[in-house]
Structure 1
Amino acid sequence: MSETRNVALGIDVGGTGIKGALVDLDTGQLVTDRFRLDTPQPARPADVADAIVAVADHFDFDGPVGVAFPGVVLDGVVHTAANLHPDWIGLSLAELIGPRLRGPGTYLNDADAAGLAESHFGAAKGTDGVVLLVTLGTGIGVAMISDGRLVANSELGHLELDGVDAETYAAASARKRNGHSWEEWAGHANHYLEHLEGLVWPKLFVLGGGITKNPEKWLHYLHPRTPIVLAQHINNAGIVGAADATRQGRAAETAAAG
């Protein structure tokens, strides 16, 4: 399929699955069904790269491709890979995958991709200043958006809080692990959000992750000074944000060429 309108392919790489779809960059809507493959186990670079390329090939698309990766990505190079194989660290996605794609590739952290999706097409659309997307799941992922532009790889989910990594007691997984009630866990999550807003002073918190499916159990316990909204692109945020990131990648290429 040739690029005939403002469309890009978004691919979201996770610890258990790799999924992709074509996305309309004017609306943020998927224009194809999602296609998913299981993440190879163990998630070694060569096998995962093959799966990413297989997802891309499924769409027969020669336009831009965005890949959201579960780790810090700087200039296409992986610096952390907590849910994949440690052999990823130091490898270049641009070199490993880029030559095998049919169109130009853009690579970014998966939480950052979700942040772009919510900022440009979701719960934070039209909000100026700093927006923090906070995903509360197995860990804590944070994306920082400033006036609509991504501040990449913020990694604020790993702040030290009360002497420990904030993930260990404020992530959604910590509630069951530590045997806490919803109110106890929400108290920890609220403490974490208040710590974040003391550092960054955001205009808005967008909360995401699987836990947002049951907000009635915990949302009323949160009371930071910053307004809170729930993410809208729960299942497709990585795909939509990865596709959206290709616009910035193409703008950078155009500027360099000029």
Structure 2
Amino acid sequence: MVNTGTKLFAGVDIGATSVKIGNVAADGIIIYRVQQKLNPAELEPHDIVQFTSSLLTKLLTRMELRAQDLAGVGVGCPGVVLPGGVLHAAANFPSWSGVPLQRLLSDLIGIPVKVCNDADAAIMAEQWVGAAHGVKSFLMLILGTGVGFGVVDEGRLVRGGSNAIEGGHMIVERNGRQCGCSQRGCIEAYTSASALLREAREQLNSGVESALSSYPRDQMSVKLIFEQAAAGDKLCERLMNEVWL
């Protein structure tokens, strides 16, 4: 049971490249937030759970709070999340399968934790206090390291059978690009941030001229591609048009 005697919650976004945590009031207002990049060499379940717990402790310390001062923690993560907060599979964490993320986090933090798919969490937040407040039926598209879809029909979140709303893994090109989910031709393999970066590196490696060539490959970012496209770099403009937009 959530402690209804307090009015503060923590919202956690576990992404493929970073973890973000916000201290949230009962009206949905984010009071304080922290973000920290993940170490690509430490992406196993134990690593992420410890990392998330440590980052939450850092946030609470800055606010002079304890975990027990929170009513609960909500966690959004990529992939297929089963009842009970079990992460069944995630393209961005290919080694994860059947991970009881909700239980692991709750046991470590010591307060109630609820884990759900990150797109579902985002669409519920928009329905609660965001742009979709008061809207009965809508669809939300989330573009990031991966691609997420969320659907609300007549006020209710639609998850679909057999993960039908995992829109990022709908196949749009038969025998197309390899996706992290093991399929080929998924939307995510063409329109996500990871797809944009992958295509940029492939173009540079093939000898295409670009301002990106002056940057180390491991320092390339979507932000950099955006900036160079705005500055008129032809490759970056093409990438934005073909891959992102």
Q: TM-score, normalised by structure 1?
A: 0.60
The answer as to whether partners of 1:37 and 1:51 remain within 8 angstroms in 2 is no
State the distance in 2 between where 1:103 and 1:132 align.
Answer: 32
Task: Specify the alignment match of 2:90 in structure 1.
Answer: 81
Partner of 2:38: 39
Q: How far is 1:142 from its partner?
A: 0.6
Q: Is residue 148 from structure 1 mapped to residue 155 from structure 2 by the alignment?
A: yes
Match of 2:123 among 112, 115, 119: 115
State whether structure 2 residue 65 is matched by structure 1 residue 65. Answer: no
Of 140-149 and 47-56, the range deviating more from structure 2 = 140-149
What is the number of equivalent residue pairs in this alignment?
182
Contact 1:112 1:150 in 2 (8 A): yes
Q: Is the 8 A contact 2:127 2:134 kept in 1?
A: yes
Corresponding residue of 1:7? 8
Give the whole-Å Cα distance in 1 for the aligned partners of 2:79 and 2:116: 8
Distance 2:142 2:126 in 1: 12
What does the per-residue CA deviation read over 1:198-257, in whole Å, with 9 as the maximum and x for residues that have no partner? xxxxxxxxxxx98xx99xx9xxx9xxxxxxxxxxxxxxxxxxxxxxxxxxxxxxxxxxxx
Deviation at 1:84, TM superposition (A): 2.7
Q: Which amino acid in the other structure matches residue 49 of structure 2? A: A
How far off is 1:3 after superposition?
Answer: 6.7
Report deviation, 1:45: 1.2
- Tell whether the 8 Å contact from 1:45 to 1:85 is kept in structure 2 after alignment: no
Shift of 1:123: 1.5
Conserved 8 A contact 1:40-1:48: no
Q: TM-score with structure 2 length normalisation?
A: 0.63
Task: Indicate the structure whose relative CO is greater, using CA pairs within 8 Å and at least 6 residues apart.
Answer: 1
Provide closer, same or farther for how the CA distance between residues 170 and 85 of structure 1 changes in structure 2, counting only shifts above 3 A: closer
Distance 1:19 1:137, change over 3 A: closer
Give runs of aligned pairs for residues 226-245 of structure 1, distance below 5 A: none
CA distance in 2, matches of 1:172, 1:40: 18
- The within-5 A match list for 1:195-214 is none
> Which runs of 5 or more residues in structure 2 are unaligned?
61-65, 175-184, 203-221, 228-236
Compute the RMSD of aligned alpha carbons. 3.1
Q: 1:156 Cα shift?
A: 1.5
Q: Is the 8 A contact 2:146 2:192 kept in 1?
A: yes
The CA deviation at 1:57 is: 2.6
Question: How much has 1:66 moved relative to structure 2?
Answer: 0.8
- In the alignment, which of 98, 107, 129 is matched to residue 99 of structure 1? 107
Unmatched runs of 5 consecutive residues or more in structure 1 = 180-208, 222-258
